[in-house]
Structure 1
């Protein structure tokens, strides 16, 4: 198996698949960086009436729930808050500001 991220291609034996990525983030990416890359662009579209889907996929224990919600003890304003709470804050803030 060979993966070419520059060309977004994956080669397994003789078979080749092409994939398009909106973003590729490393393990060191902060919760804010993940949100900014994958979810924040959806806010304006949702508020204009478009549908949006945010889908987390991966192996059990890989950190999907942590990325989406953050740790249970993360309070408001914590850097550890996940994508979903950040998304909700942005949507409700935009609605209250009349954007």
Structure 2
């Protein structure tokens, strides 16, 4: 059963694991601009890819609400969006 991965968990357990992961990312980021310091790295690209999906204003979920409660993760996602996809940043802000 362990080979099933995330599928071996109940929906509530999956949300709990997701919330725990977001909290861990928030603590790792702390007050820095990027995950590894003051310059973006491939780690930031991975974290941003995940956060962009979770924070999309087009779908509401408990995980989105948890991410929104972590201001440094929201600021990180906005910083990455503005830096790499500036044409989409205003649209997402308006939809939120």
TM-score by length of 1: 0.33
Higher helix share: 2
Q: Which has more radius of gyration?
A: 1
- With CA pairs under 8 Å and 6+ residues apart, which has the higher RCO, 1 or 2? 2
